[in-house]
A and B are shown apart, each in its own frame.
Chain A
Amino acid sequence: MQNVNAINIGEIKEEPKVNYLTNGFTLKSWLLTKDHKRIAILYLITVSAFFALGGIYASLIRLELLTPASDLLQSATYNRTFTQHGIIMVFFFLIPSIPAILGNFLIPIMIGAKDLAFPRINLLSWYFYMAGGGLTLYALLQGGVDTGWTFYTPYSTTFSNSYVMAVGLGIFINGFSSILTGLNFIVTIHTMRAPGMTWFRMPLFVWAHYATSLVMILGTPVIAITILLLALERIAKVGIFDPAIGGDPILFQHLFWFYSHPAVYIMILPGMGVISELISNFSRKKIFGYEFIAFSSIAIAVFGFLVWGHHMFVSGQSVYAGLVFSFLTMVVSVPSAIKVFNWSATLYKGQISYDTPMLYALFFIGLFLIGGLTGLFLGSIGLTVHLTDTYFIVAHFHYVMVGGQVLAYLGGLHYWWSKITGKMYSEFWSKIAAIIIFVGFNLTFFPQFILGYMGMPRRYASYPAEFQVLNIFSTAGASILAIGLIIPLIYLTYSIFFGAKAPANPWVLPGLEWRTSSPPPTENFEETPIVTWEAYEFGEESGLDLEDARSKYKVTV
């Protein structure tokens, strides 16, 4: 314990000669690495590339919708564009983003382990991701898919002439990446916690990932099965979904949403985990209601499996099924509300600093509030009959996915950037970018709520002229958002080469990840830490030497 505390402030006393980044420079040392931190870097690079590609598709969509007529993109191209935007963003960006990058990097460090439980499987899951992504990219280059990311039958099985099977196979393979990552996290959290790291001393980031992993393991096989059935019908003409050959198209929707609704929680739970970290650490006090936040993650994961039917309120399921799903959807809103209240209460009597990650956390709460509350509109079955399949839905899930998950991801990336790269980013530019993103995001998606209530259907290449003004706002917002997202790419990349060297613990925080050097050595800690403090412990018990930190603060920053 003593030696752990000894290295917690500012510059570590003895910088390790080799850290995980300098431990091997060959391509092989990266591509065959078993180090969870290096695998996280591999994910960071590839996931960012997919994010950029998905973003290009998004820009094309917004440009097309600048005018009512389908002029920039013809319908055929537009349909492929929004489909590919959805597929890439959901399967190759949102789902892996926080778990596979930040989770991979931080979970072992946060619980005081040397690596994940199965390092080789961890590497394998990245290769599954690459194989699935590669196949999908191949299909996109060949001409892409036009079914919507939801692959609704019988359009996807019988009518579409696009590359449904190639993309389906890509998603199928990519699913194994999710399953293996989830498995790895669960086993690691169960078996590899450092001495003294009890379940209720774990950072909430780890709890959130535990809940996420449960969903990954239990949900992903269902989408795999669904894709297999889809292939069976498309290739072998076995009647499963197409009524013309004896199938039932609604069955597909049940199977698809049985996975894809929980998948929404795969996308948002890790983000909630990041926000818990940011709020608590930048208020420099214990998080309010630790157990409630931890268990609300588990509750969300469990209830998340029971609400898939709310995607099908108008698709001909029985009235009573609709009512039950609406009821359960209302119930699942409660644990999310609990989190928001606890985060807000954490700020009370804190010592709040306005660093960039905290700015993202603040924006997250605001946007997640709107995203969550509009979820109530859509869960209310009588209202959603009007709202579903309109831009209201589009706005709602972008508020949760982009306003929620992407901002949490960016906040987390900034927060742990110094730990991952060993370099400091520009505080000035990062603040500017965060504000631009916030403004651009709202301008893009808020008008879409209004468009949705007005009745503009989603997935329309052309639309009636009365909707144009709001669409122009939205497109203008999207350009601002794009600029906001390009700026971090520049200053973060710049920081890798020219940034100031980061101290081990730039914000003087108590988490285990701040008690090793930046970047950490390959084995994470020189010696296995012994944990004697609670999560987010800023008092005496934490062993933080604040006087020492203050004296060094002026020097290092």
Chain B
Amino acid sequence: MQQNSWVPIFPEQASTFAWEVDMLYFYLLLISAFFIVGIVAAILFFFVKYREKEKFATGEEIHGSIALETVWSIIPFIISMTIFLGGAIIYFNQYRPPADTMDIYVVGKQWMWKLQHETGQREINELHVPVGRNVKLTMTTEDVLHDFYIPAFRTKADVIPGRYTTLWFNATKPGKYHLYCAEYCGLNHSGMGGWIYVMEQRDFDNWLSGNVSGQTPVQAGQDLFQNKLGCASCHQGGANQRGAKIEGIYNTDIKLTTGQTVKADDEYIRNSILNPASQIVEGYQPIMPTYKGQVTEEQLVSLVAYIKSLSGGANKTNAGGSTPTAPTGGSSTTNNANTTGMIPPRADRGDSTSPGSNPNAPPSRSEPTNQQNK
């Protein structure tokens, strides 16, 4: 792999997108080489062949040629359309996550990534995922723009304050891959990164069960909903409840007082919590106060996850058969502080050649947890 060559010139392929993107890349390299070699050769040939024979001689009078102009307009146009189509197909796949995904919630902040698994495990600047599963990240940020970029997966997406963006991938090769922030975000932008660990399913299960999870996002959301924020007082209570129904609404069409219909997606739920007056469900009064400033991005993510769970279907990842819940015994309490996310952000990645830079090596960080299992 790259460690063997003196100057690495090609990144690893570790997701289902990688080879598609690389094919397009090679296609474009081929086209570029063809035109560069062709045109440069023609120019150099003309330069030598038609070097002035005599000072201030006059070149042959040629005005142009409609036929040639047509040819060299149409051919580049056709070629550019093939490039467009190739790119469009790949992009379509990249930005439309499949239905059965393992969901991860990501919150960026200056200058760290906070990630949480559906099963509750939290990570900072690291993400462990199993090989061969569709993984979907739902992302937002507490402050400025960031961008979640994994070169080995050939994918990235901006992370934007005030809304959710998604990114999905299917890792194909176990290993350890760079995670970068690719959108300039201020002082320590170049320090805002980490590693993606792709593991065999069995290793991943071990890793998960070795990590004491706190509450899952759904549980945390439920806690917020029922107790901490008191949403339940209006949104639960059957026919006479003052607030709009929340059970079973996820991904359905909601009719608003304005007559518009909107889809109840993550973005809608988030917005309804922060700006309740902006989209009132038909049949309800605009009486809900805003929760802006009272809930953090992470709490919002949990609330959305909880409301999703009330619509069924949100538990789809359980179908994967391997979703461990928090271990019952207290066997890994010692790792608690370490694995629930309080790892300080890496200060400088300049030293990353050292132990972990071989992507084929088994992931070494956060590993101690594995040894304690079973």
A70 and B80 contacting across the interface, CB-CB below 8 Å? no
Q: Which chain B positions have C-beta within 8 A of A459?
A: 184, 189-190
Q: State which of B117-125, B149-157, B333-341 sits at the interface with chain A.
A: B149-157
Q: Which of A518-557 contact B (CB under 8 A)?
A: 538-539, 544, 546, 549-550, 553
Q: A284-B58, A331-B80, A455-B152 are in contact. Are A469 and B39 (CB under 8 A)?
A: no
Q: Which chain A positions have C-beta within 8 A of B68?
A: 289, 341, 345
A214 within 8 A of B: no
A369 and B77 contacting across the interface, CB-CB below 8 Å? no
- Chain A 459-481, CB-CB to B under 8 Å as 1, else 0, gives 11111111001100000000000
A347 to B59, CA, bound (A): 9
A70 to B190, CA, bound (A): 9
A69 and B55 contacting across the interface, CB-CB below 8 Å? no
Closest Cβ–Cβ distance, residue A383 to chain B (whole Å): 5
B143 within 8 A of A: yes
B197 within 8 A of A: no
A44 to B64, CA, bound (A): 36
Q: Which chain B positions have C-beta within 8 A of A159?
A: 110, 143-144, 186
Choose among A354, A390, A455, A460 the residue with the greatest number of B CB atoms under 10 Å from its CB. Answer: A455
B63 and A244 contacting across the interface, CB-CB below 8 Å? no
Number of interface residues of B (CB under 8 A): 96
A155 and B155 contacting across the interface, CB-CB below 8 Å? no
Main secondary structure of the interface of B (DSSP, over half): mixed
Q: Which chain A positions have C-beta within 8 A of B90?
A: 381-383, 385
A243 to B151, CA, bound (A): 29
Q: A365-B43, A370-B36, A546-B58 are in contact. Are A351 and B24 (CB under 8 A)?
A: no
Q: Which of B230-272 contact A (CB under 8 A)?
A: none
Q: State which of A266-274, A372-380, A485-493, A495-503 sits at the interface with chain B.
A: A372-380
A158 to B141, CA, bound (A): 14
The closest CB in chain B to the CB of A546 belongs to B56
A383 to B154, CA, bound (A): 8
Q: A152-B184, A155-B145, A455-B152 are in contact. Are A373 and B58 (CB under 8 A)?
A: no
A342 to B348, CA, bound (A): 50
Q: A369-B35, A549-B56 are in contact. Are A385 and B9 (CB under 8 A)?
A: no
A290 and B63 contacting across the interface, CB-CB below 8 Å? yes
B182 and A457 contacting across the interface, CB-CB below 8 Å? yes
B181 within 8 A of A: yes
- Chain A 50-64, CB-CB to B under 8 Å as 1, else 0, gives 000000000000000
Q: A155-B144, A351-B53, A385-B156 are in contact. Are A244 and B162 (CB under 8 A)?
A: yes
A386 within 8 A of B: yes
Closest Cβ–Cβ distance, residue B354 to chain A (whole Å): 9
Choose among B6, B77, B145 the residue with the greatest number of A CB atoms under 10 Å from its CB. Answer: B145
Q: A159-B143, A381-B91 are in contact. Are A292 and B64 (CB under 8 A)?
A: yes
**Could you say which of A288, A373, A377, A544 contacts B35, with CB atoms under 8 Å apart?**
A373
- Chain B 61-100, CB-CB to A under 8 Å as 1, else 0, gives 1111100110011001100110110111111101110000
Q: Which of A15-66 contact B (CB under 8 A)?
A: none
B42 within 8 A of A: yes
Closest Cβ–Cβ distance, residue A392 to chain B (whole Å): 10
A380 to B92, CA, bound (A): 12
Q: Which chain A positions have C-beta within 8 A of B8?
A: 454, 466
B7 and A469 contacting across the interface, CB-CB below 8 Å? yes
B57 within 8 A of A: yes
**Could you say which of B9, B46, B47, B149 contacts A389, with CB atoms under 8 Å apart?**
B149
Q: A330-B84, A334-B77, A462-B349 are in contact. Are A383 and B186 (CB under 8 A)?
A: no
A458 to B189, CA, bound (A): 10
Closest Cβ–Cβ distance, residue A448 to chain B (whole Å): 12
A75 and B96 contacting across the interface, CB-CB below 8 Å? no
A543 to B57, CA, bound (A): 14
The closest CB in chain B to the CB of A322 belongs to B91
A334 and B76 contacting across the interface, CB-CB below 8 Å? yes
B62 and A288 contacting across the interface, CB-CB below 8 Å? yes
B350 within 8 A of A: yes
A158 to B186, CA, bound (A): 12
A159 to B142, CA, bound (A): 12
Q: Which chain A positions have C-beta within 8 A of B46?
A: 344, 347-348, 350, 352
A–B complex contacts, Cβ < 8 Å, 10 sampled = A75-B187, A152-B145, A154-B161, A289-B69, A326-B84, A373-B31, A379-B83, A382-B20, A462-B350, A465-B350
Other 19 A-B pairs with CB < 8 A, given A154-B161, A289-B63, A389-B147: A150-B184, A249-B160, A288-B65, A291-B64, A323-B88, A326-B88, A327-B84, A344-B39, A365-B43, A369-B39, A374-B32, A389-B149, A455-B151, A457-B149, A460-B190, A464-B357, A465-B353, A466-B2, A466-B8
The 10 A-B residue pairs with the shortest CB-CB distance, nearest first, are A455-B151, A243-B162, A382-B90, A285-B59, A380-B87, A460-B190, A347-B46, A289-B64, A382-B87, A69-B350
